[in-house]
Amino acid sequence: MKVLITENQKFFLQKTIQKLINHYLEKIRKESEEWGMDAISEIKQVDSVDKIEVSSIDISKKLKVYIDIYISYPYYYFDDLISEIEARISTHIPNIELIENEIKDERKFGPGIDW
């Protein structure tokens, strides 16, 4: 069965997904404060992300959500964090797939920028 979605519905879906991403990123941040040293890679992923924004969504087959990751630390591996957020959102929106679109480093100074 094929379902037609209007631009207005697509916009509402994108805003809803953005709210869920924001909620679960913040929840993971709070949880990460209690993680031990064995989770150092995961802690780096969480700590280096300023925000995650939905850049676009594709609803042609499976719901694919393309996200931009804004970082505050030169760390560029976010697969575990994306997978965790995707798993948590999928309890609300089944068959969703988060896809890293772009990593945006908006720092003006720091390691890898001015030294």
Task: Render pLDDT for 67-103 as a digit per residue (tens, 0 to 9).
Answer: 999 988 777 788 989 999 999 999 999 999 999 999 9
- In-domain check, residue 113: no
Model pTM?
Answer: 0.82
- In-domain check, residue 115: no
- In-domain check, residue 110: no
The helix or strand, by DSSP H or E, that contains position 49, with its residue range, turns out to be strand 49-58
- Overall domain count for the chain: 1
Among 40, 111, 113, 114, residue whose Cα is nearest residue 77: 40
Task: Render pLDDT for 48-71 as a digit per residue (tens, 0 to 9).
Answer: 889 999 999 998 888 999 999 998
**Higher pLDDT pick, 106 / 85:** 85
- In-domain check, residue 30: yes
- In-domain check, residue 111: no
What tokens were used for 16?
Answer: 């809803």
- In-domain check, residue 114: no
**Most confident range, picked from 28-32, 35-39, 57-61, 97-101:** 97-101
Question: Which residues span the domain enclosing 61?
Answer: 7-105
Buried b (16+ CB within 10 A) or exposed e, 75-93: beebeebbebbbebbeeee
- In-domain check, residue 49: yes
With cut-offs at 50, 70 and 90, classify the pLDDT of residue 114: low
What tokens were used for 86?
Answer: 């995707």
CATH number of the domain residue 38 falls in = 3.30.300
